[in-house]
Structure 1
Amino acid sequence: MPYVPSKKTDGKSTDREMLNKAVEALAREAADKITDNLSLLEVYKTVFLDVAAALAHLLKGRPAANKTAVWNLAKALYDLENAYDYEGAFLGELNYAMTRFIQRVPQMKVANNSWTQELRYWLYARTVSALIYASHHTEDLDLGIDGVFEDIKDEYKRRVNLAYEAAQILKSGDCYDTPYYTRLVEVVDEDGNPVGHMEVMLKRGDETLAKDMLDGKIVLKKKN
């Protein structure tokens, strides 16, 4: 996701603004189609594959078939590909777009009171399932799009699910007692105020086995 330039990059890049507009329309359309928890999986699968197919179509030099939300996003990705002087620029742009998509849909569902939370485990699992499905079913395009969906899945695990798991451990307790495991440690600022948590890799031992969080704390110091 961070591979796409913005005004923070050079003061002038508008890649994210272009993509955000197209993603917003597509996410709103998808959110309206999700009528229950299970339907999210099929809606996401369809969106991922339709965007990939439309983009592949444009990359072959063919005109856009219509002006739906899917094709508008594909066209934005295609236009950005042509704005750069190297082949494959669209892959980073696609990563950003789909990463934003899987965040915006839950945000919209909460905003319209369909859901009460943006992240639950069922949502995470079905999003991952759709990304895996999309990766497998775009391999034959030979464009690297399958790798993008795989990467989004991995980023989603690292950037979102790990923090969510930590919150659940603190709420309900850990469940790992394997020979090697991780335990949380609290991070505080120099005044002792909570900042967040980190994981520490440990070998199983009596001192830590029954603990969800280690007794010590890591102090985050300000830069001099």
Structure 2
Amino acid sequence: MIPLLANAIEAHGGLDRWNAHRRLTATIVTGGDLWALKGVDQDRAPRTMRIELHREQVSVAPFGKPGQRTAFSPERIAIVAADGRVVAMRNDPRAAFARHDMRTHWDPLHHAYFDGYALWTYLTTPFLLAMDGFEVREIAPWHEGTEVWRGLRATFPATIASHSAEQDFYFGPDMLIRRHDYHVEIAGNFPAAHYVADPVSVDGFKLPTRRRIYLRGDNLIPLRDELMVSIDLSDFRFD
């Protein structure tokens, strides 16, 4: 493990502590311009998300209507009723985004798949980068105001569903995550600058509570008038 990644993982709580847990649950509230572009009716109601820490599985509830939840894995996305009945399901969900651009409307399964892989990536950073199959290297730092944020570029293995195969992560002087850059391949490959802030301490971990994802312009500059997604998190609970 390269020193930058090792230091970042330690600053966020350490790999031994992470490996001692199996699941993380949180309350999320989402907003931003992406949902209207996708024809998704996304309200500001709080939802509960649960992720598996060591395998890519996620659920979000309620989804669509009260009593329904999502069941995400890279190979399958489903919407499940309270009694366990599968309301809708799609195998090989990534293939359903072929030829999509930023304004192509999503059906509920498109939306659920995006939620699943995005939330899992965000909530497991930086620990997921220590998993088998990831390739990481240090890149040029990012200068934000008076701070210098050290950069790390990760190449994701094909077994992990995420925004893009190559993603960049930037860490502040305290080694906590500040920014996460990628291309959203399933929505026309648009470039995003994802700012991370307001960490809280939970069971020895530092977990961000505020995420703001902007369209990214030239020279890695975030377009602050183009807020694509906002995510506010609270009530973190490890199982």
Pick the TM interval, shorter chain.
Answer: under 0.3
Whose relative contact order is higher, 1 or 2, with alpha carbons under 8 Å and at least 6 apart? 2
**Structure with the greater alpha carbon radius of gyration:** 1
Q: Which has the higher strand share?
A: 2
Q: With the length of structure 1 as denominator, give the TM-score of the two structures.
A: 0.26
Q: With the length of structure 2 as denominator, give the TM-score of the two structures.
A: 0.25
